[in-house]
């Protein structure tokens, strides 16, 4: 086991950049666009990866990593299995939170809001763009259900591989996209001595209020 003393000594003094209310865009999605473009240019491994936190109807939280598949002025898109744990939680409670952490840029973005399913047409348009075997994988996996072995899922995968071989793969009825419609954003820029910059946007009366938070 790693020594706790060693773990406690792991820390980086963030020094690269700063963030002030006067630096940020009036619209929080424009600010996201700015930082996301910088992240894309930085060449990091998974620039679209984010943590999605959901909660069940008893407010018990759960979180997992997903890939963001697009954004526009209205919100952020991701795709998954509607019958997975997150899918069930979102059906019971449509409030969710997203976190992007880009350590190479010493940045974190928190986004909160309500989630809605995208249309079946939109889901299918994205599904069609996935690699053939990823589409087969969506058919093979009842995501988040218990299976007895890897063999079970591989058998299902090959069953669907044969079934759909050289055919257009239909959209599974349990698979598709969600869009998170934000009402809160926070842009975090790491600074020296843990005195980080935190600029948040709250949606109130059809407007975005921009404030600085204590680190």
Among 25, 53, 55, 66, binds ligand FMN (CB under 6 A): 66
Considering only the stretches 15-23, 76-84, 116-124, 176-184, report the one whose residues sit in contact with ligand FMN under the rule CB under 6 A. Answer: 76-84
Catalytic, 212? Answer no
Considering only the stretches 13-21, 75-83, 111-119, 177-185, report the one whose residues sit in contact with ligand FMN under the rule CB under 6 A. Answer: 75-83
CA dihedral 48, 36, 64, 130 (to 10 degrees): -20
Among 21, 40, 44, 67, binds ligand FMN (CB under 6 A): 67
CA distances from 15 to 65, 194, 196 (A): 27, 10, 10
Nearer to ligand FMN, 25 or 48 (CB): 48
Minimum distance, C-beta of residue 170 to ligand FMN, in the bound complex (Å): 18
Minimum distance, C-beta of residue 63 to ligand FMN, in the bound complex (Å): 8
- Interacting positions 26-65 with ligand FMN (CB under 6 A): 46, 49, 62, 64-65
Catalytic, out of 107, 150, 194, 212:
194
Minimum distance, C-beta of residue 41 to ligand FMN, in the bound complex (Å): 20
Give the up-direction half-sphere exposure of residue 210: CA atoms within 13 A in the CB hemisphere.
Answer: 14
User: For 106, phi and psi rounded to 5 degrees?
Assistant: 55, 45
The CA distance from 146 to 142, in Å, is 9
By CB under 6 A, residue 121 contacts ligand FMN = no
Nearer to ligand FMN, 147 or 209 (CB): 147
CB 64 within 8 A of CB 46: no
Is beta strand 95-102 parallel, antiparallel or unpaired with respect to 49-55? antiparallel
Tell which residue, 105, 109, 104, 68, has the closest CA to residue 200.
109
Among 38, 143, 174, 202, binds ligand FMN (CB under 6 A): 143
Structure-token pair, residue 53: 């936190």
Give the 3-state secondary structure of residue 136.
helix
Which are the contacts of 114, defined by CB distance < 8 A and separation ≥ 6? 94, 95, 96, 180, 181, 183
Nearer to ligand FMN, 87 or 113 (CB): 87
Minimum distance, C-beta of residue 28 to ligand FMN, in the bound complex (Å): 23
Catalytic center residues: 194
Which residues of this protein are in contact with ligand FMN, per CB under 6 A? 46, 49, 62, 64-67, 78-81, 84-86, 143-144
């Amino acid at each position: 086991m790693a020594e706790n003393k060693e773990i406690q000594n792991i820390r980086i003094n963030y020094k690269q950049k700063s963030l002030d209310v006067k630096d940020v865009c009036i619209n929080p999605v424009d600010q996201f666009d700015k930082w996301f473009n910088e992240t894309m240019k930085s060449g990091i491994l998974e620039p679209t990866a984010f943590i999605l936190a959901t909660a069940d109807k008893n407010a018990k939280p759960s979180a997992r990593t997903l890939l963001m598949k697009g954004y526009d002025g209205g919100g952020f898109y991701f795709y998954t299995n509607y019958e997975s744990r997150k899918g069930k939680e979102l059906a019971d409670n449509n409030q969710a939170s997203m976190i992007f952490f880009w350590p190479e840029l010493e940045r974190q973005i928190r986004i909160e809001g309500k989630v809605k399913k995208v249309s079946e047409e939109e889901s299918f348009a994205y599904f069609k763009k996935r690699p053939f075997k990823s589409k087969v994988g969506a058919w093979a996996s009842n995501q988040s259900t218990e299976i007895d072995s890897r063999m079970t899922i591989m058998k299902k995968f090959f069953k669907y591989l044969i079934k759909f071989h050289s055919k257009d793969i239909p959209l599974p009825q349990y698979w598709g996209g969600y869009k998170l419609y934000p009402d809160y954003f926070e842009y975090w820029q790491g600074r020296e001595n843990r005195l980080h910059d935190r600029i948040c946007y709250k949606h109130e009366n059809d407007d975005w209020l921009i404030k600085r938070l204590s680190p």
